[in-house]
Amino acid sequence: MKALKSPVTVTTREHILRQAITLFAASGYEGVSMRHIASAVGTSAAALYHHFPDKPTLYLEAIRFAFADKSATLREVMAKETHPAERLYDFIRRFTQMVYADPAFLKLVHRELLDGDTERMKVLVTHVFAETRQILKGLIRELAPDWDETLLMTSIIGLVIHHYETATLRSFLPGSQPGHEDPETVARHVNRFIQHALGIAAPADEWPDGVKV
């Protein structure tokens, strides 16, 4: 068993990682220098090298930290014994909320999808995608056995994510409203879309008159 590090050490390290996450999410690996991170932390670049051997390692630790426990809230979905369709809606809502509440997380995921090498892809799979897709797979098997699992999982995840990866862009497009970013609105829309697609609910009738989702 490893000896615990002193509380002060852990805090400094975490402080660095949190600042690094924000900066890397905003500007990418190449767009952030050790000096930038040091400046955000309030220390010198040389001091960072006391905590991390080099920049690639600092980045790897940062995404590990940013991706840690991201499936936790989704895991709770499976603890309930409600109807599968209800659990799927629960999944959609929690997933949408997660993506909405942590824009840095979504940005880092997309940067990894663009730039990740084999090792970093494995971090992404292990910490983020593996359990998320496992949970979703369970729901799909119950609700839509006649669909291709992989294609359907990818579609459902993309259906949610795309609303937030284009959030900045849509402010430049006509017809955009602030409500289109609201996680509850997006979740209801996506849920209606999926339920009708999979033939779970009959079209219309679930939402009050005049509310388009």
| Footprint of DNA (CB under 7 A) | 6, 8-9, 12, 32-36, 38, 43-47, 49-51, 53-56
Angle at 155 between CA 152 and CA 161, to 5 degrees: 145
Spatial separation of the C-alpha atoms in residues 159 and 189, rounded to whole Å = 10
Listed residue (31, 59, 30, 48) closest to 119, CA to CA: 59
Residue 140 interacts with, from a second copy, DNA, none (CB under 5-8 Å by kind): none
Counting Cβ atoms within 10 Å, is residue 11 exposed (0-12), middle (13-18) or buried (19+)? exposed
- The span of 38-46, 72-80, 88-96, 195-203 binding a second copy (CB under 8 A) equals 195-203
Q: Is 22 or 176 the residue whose CB approaches a second copy more closely?
A: 176
Q: Binding to a second copy (CB under 8 A): which residues in 94-123?
A: 107, 110-111, 113-116, 118, 121-122
93 binds a second copy (CB under 8 A): no
The answer to whether 93 touches 76, Cβ cutoff 8 Å, is no
Per CB under 8 A, 56 contacts a second copy: no
Locate 69 and state its tokens. 């426990």
Q: Are 36 and 26 in contact (CB under 8 A)?
A: no
Closer to DNA by CB, 39 or 176: give it: 39
> Which one of a second copy, DNA, none interacts with residue 193, CB within 5 to 8 A by kind?
a second copy
Contact 136, 153 (CB under 8 A): yes
By the rule CB under 8 A, 184 interacts with a second copy: no
User: CB–CB of 26/110 below 8 Å?
Assistant: no
Contacting residues toward a second copy, per CB under 8 A: 27-28, 30-31, 107, 110-111, 113-116, 118, 121-122, 124-125, 129-130, 133, 146-152, 154-155, 157-159, 161-163, 165-166, 168-170, 172-173, 175-177, 180, 185-186, 189-190, 193-194, 196-199, 203-204, 212-213
